[in-house]
Amino acid sequence: MFAIPEQFSAASKANFEAQLSLISALTNKAFEGVEKVVDLNLNVAKASLEESSAAAKQFLAAKDAQEFLSLAAAQAQPNAEKALAYGRHLASIASGVQAEFTKAAEAQIAETSRKVLELVEEVSKNAPAGSENAVAMLKTAIGNANAGYEQLTKTTKQAVETIEANLNNAVGQFTQAAPKAARAAKK
């Protein structure tokens, strides 16, 4: 009879350790994502500085206003394409971090659910006679919680997929519009 408190104590300790492990893993993934964004921004800033310097030299070397406007129009499309590439890369980093978070959380929740079910099974073996209804209610509650989590996970994945599709659609439309705008600016 004294085994039940010990089982709950061991389960609580294991759950706490698993939560700490999850928090550590998520923190590491978040820092990796931040590191990638910082690297991306540093590379973009360096390239932008070099390109701005070269463009400034070209603008200063322009012989007349027509050549200056021609150079400015020629800069528009590559800059738009670079902005799109930056946006795609940033979205890719964010998507990768989100996927890692989801994967880690799903694994943790699955493991915790498994352990809780094992604990309930073990406790129900040692439960006093007449407590079958309480054990059944507990199992039902756990099953309902798991079903709710699964539905939340599916809904979240659908929302993320919709956001990514909308972002890709917007990028595609901008990609198609940028060359047209550059051609119109040249006229």
Q: Which residue has the tokens 């200063």?
A: 60
Q: In total, how many domains does the chain have?
A: 1
Please report, as a single letter, which amino acid is at residue 126. Answer: N
Neighbours of 47 (CB within 10 A): 11
Per-residue model confidence as pLDDT tens for the chain (187 residues): 446 677 667 777 877 887 788 888 888 988 999 999 999 999 999 999 998 898 889 888 888 888 888 888 787 777 777 888 888 888 888 888 888 888 887 787 778 778 777 777 777 777 777 777 877 887 788 778 777 777 877 787 787 778 777 777 776 776 676 666 656 655 6
List the domain range (segments joined by +) for residue 60: 3-186
